């Protein structure tokens, strides 16, 4: 019996030793590989942590799809977690989408507002949670918003106005044989819209005042020519009404200032189908939307102002990094960023309320695109390619 017990004990010990053998192999694996995730060793400090909430207005206007994708991609490529939401151009929806992002624990918000004046409560909530906000492209009217990344909005309008002065040869036009123009502006809820309109108007006003340029409808005030939500059909309807009321007898119309491409699309449709005159109407735009670039190639729209949203997203990423690292957003940041595009610091223009608080603004530089230069401005830098039919296709 004793022998049997000794044998059983010996067997148990053999099994126990065999079982212990497996963990022993772990000791042969270098300790570092087990405990340190590879990413932390290769990614610079400060880039692996951070959750970014990105709130965009709508997918129904082309550019925001590009902005949203670029922003999410850039943040993720830099090692951040990013959540992107669209709010269907509904203000209440955007408020609750941002509240959700705050509840999910974001460290920073990047917001392009549907209505810049309607986010007060949720901006206060962000501030109460120590979340900084970058107003992206469109300013938010709330003093908790300290940063703004956009293009120089006023100069978008200036470029449109200057283009028309040149294209209509206003310098050599006299009041006894004037040029005729109509106006379509953007969404009154969008802080950018008056900047675009005023930029263009400041260039064109002297010609309107001297009678060299005439607006037959006399609709020249922003509030009258504005287009809710930048909607193409709204712009189309208003343009059809104007054409029916003032141009039905084929009265001459030389130009239509449109603040952006979505409104230019509606105006172009109206002019193509309803304008009784036989001259080409010079139509302006902004953004480089694919449908509008098609119209530019086809000679239906004369120009667009291009704003490279990939660069806007790049700038936003670098500013977000600085904010999250507690570093200043200033000229030194721009100088050190090494961007291959121009951007200017403005700490005065974009006030967020009548307290005078101004968002620290990084403003990129827009460019005029015409049938003569789209190869150079859009295709050569790689923003667009040309398809087999000669039309432009956006990259990314």
Strands 384-386 and 392-394: antiparallel
Min. distance of Cβ 138 from ligand BGC in angstroms? 5
Q: DSSP character for 131? A: -
Min. distance of Cβ 148 from ligand BGC in angstroms? 12
Of the candidates 119, 152, 64, which has an alpha carbon nearest to the alpha carbon of residue 345? 152
Closer residue to ligand BGC in complex, CB, 192/301: 192
Min. distance of Cβ 266 from ligand BGC in angstroms? 13
Q: Which residue is closest to ligand BGC by CB?
A: 260
Min. distance of Cβ 61 from ligand BGC in angstroms? 4
Q: Is 361 helix (H, G, I), strand (E, B) or coil?
A: strand
Closer residue to ligand BGC in complex, CB, 238/307: 307
Min. distance of Cβ 206 from ligand BGC in angstroms? 26
- Apex CA 122: angle with CA 116 and CA 125, to 5°? 140
Among 144, 184, 260, 368, indicate the residue that binds ligand BGC (CB under 6 A): 260
Near ligand BGC in 294-313, by CB under 6 A: 307
Among 107, 254, 287, 312, indicate the residue that binds ligand BGC (CB under 6 A): 287
183/203 Cα distance (integer angstroms): 14
Q: Dihedral sign for Cα 211, 214, 216, 218, please.
A: negative
Min. distance of Cβ 161 from ligand BGC in angstroms? 17
Closer residue to ligand BGC in complex, CB, 61/145: 61
Near ligand BGC in 126-145, by CB under 6 A: 137-138
Show the 3-state SS of 166-235: HHCCHHHCCCCCCEEEEEECCCCCCCHHHHHHHHHHHHHHHHHHHCCEECCCCCCCHHHHCCHHHCHHHH
Q: How many residues bind ligand BGC (CB under 6 A)?
A: 12
Closer residue to ligand BGC in complex, CB, 52/264: 264
Strands 360-364 and 343-346: antiparallel
Min. distance of Cβ 156 from ligand BGC in angstroms? 8
The site map against ligand BGC for 61-100 (x = CB under 6 A) is x-x-------------------------------------
* Neighbour tally for 81: CB within 10 Å: 16
210/38 Cα distance (integer angstroms): 70
Min. distance of Cβ 94 from ligand BGC in angstroms? 14
The site map against ligand BGC for 220-239 (x = CB under 6 A) is ----------x---------
Q: Do residues 370 and 302 touch, judged by C-beta distance below 8 A?
A: yes
**C-alpha distances in Å from residue 154, one per residue of 70, 88, 165, 227, 287:** 24, 26, 17, 18, 14
**First and final CA of the chain: distance in angstroms?**
81
Q: Tell me the backbone φ, ψ of residue 227, rounded to 5 degrees.
A: -125, 110
Closer residue to ligand BGC in complex, CB, 72/307: 307
- The reply to whether 367 sits near ligand BGC by the rule CB under 6 A is no
Closer residue to ligand BGC in complex, CB, 81/155: 155
Closer residue to ligand BGC in complex, CB, 61/293: 61
92/45 Cα distance (integer angstroms): 38
**C-alpha distances in Å from residue 354, one per residue of 113, 175, 232, 351:** 19, 41, 33, 7
Among 190, 254, 312, 367, indicate the residue that binds ligand BGC (CB under 6 A): 190
Closer residue to ligand BGC in complex, CB, 138/179: 138
Beta-bridged to residue 148, according to DSSP, are 135, 361
Residues that bind ligand BGC (CB under 6 A): 61, 63, 137-138, 190, 192, 230, 260, 262, 286-287, 307
């Amino acid at each position: 019996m004793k022998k049997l017990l000794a044998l059983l004990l010996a067997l148990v010990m053999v099994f126990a030793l065999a079982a212990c053998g497996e963990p022993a192999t772990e000791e042969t694996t270098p300790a570092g590989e087990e405990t340190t995730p590879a990413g932390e060793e290769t990614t610079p400090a400060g880039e692996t942590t951070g959750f970014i909430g990105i709130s965009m207005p709508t997918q129904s206007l082309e550019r925001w799809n590009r902005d949203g994708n670029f922003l999410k991609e850039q943040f993720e490529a830099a090692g951040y977690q990013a959540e992107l939401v669209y709010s269907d151009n509904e203000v209440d929806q955007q408020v609750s989408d941002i509240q959700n992002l705050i509840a999910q624990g974001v460290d920073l918000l990047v917001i392009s507002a549907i209505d810049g004046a309607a986010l007060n409560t949720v901006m206060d909530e962000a501030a109460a949670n120590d979340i900084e906000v970058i107003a992206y492209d469109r300013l938010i009217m709330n003093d908790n918003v300290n940063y703004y990344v956009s293009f120089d909005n006023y100069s978008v309008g200036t470029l449109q106005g200057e283009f028309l002065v040149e294209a209509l040869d206003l310098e050599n036009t006299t009041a006894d044989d004037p040029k005729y123009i109509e106006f379509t502006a953007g969404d009154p809820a969008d802080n950018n819209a008056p900047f675009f309109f005023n930029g263009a108007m400041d260039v064109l006003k002297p010609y309107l005042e001297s009678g060299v340029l005439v607006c037959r409808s006399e609709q020249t005030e922003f509030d009258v020519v504005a287009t809710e939500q930048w909607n193409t059909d709204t712009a189309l309807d208003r343009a059809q009404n104007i054409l029916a009321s003032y141009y039905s007898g084929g009265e001459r119309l030389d130009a239509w200032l449109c603040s952006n491409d979505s409104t230019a699309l509606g105006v172009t449709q109206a002019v193509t189908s309803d304008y009784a005159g036989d001259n080409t109407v010079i139509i302006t735009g902004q953004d480089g939307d694919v449908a509008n670039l098609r119209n530019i190639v086809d000679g239906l729209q004369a120009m667009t102002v291009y704003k490279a949203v990939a660069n806007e997203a790049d700038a936003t990423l670098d500013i977000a990094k600085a904010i999250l690292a507690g570093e200043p957003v200033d000229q030194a940041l721009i100088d050190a960023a090494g961007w291959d595009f121009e951007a200017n610091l403005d700490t005065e223009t974009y006030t967020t309320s009548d307290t005078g608080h101004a968002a620290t603004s990084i403003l990129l530089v827009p460019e005029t695109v015409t049938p003569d230069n789209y190869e150079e401005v859009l295709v050569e830098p790689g923003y667009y390619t040309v398809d087999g039919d000669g039309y432009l296709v956006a990259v990314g």
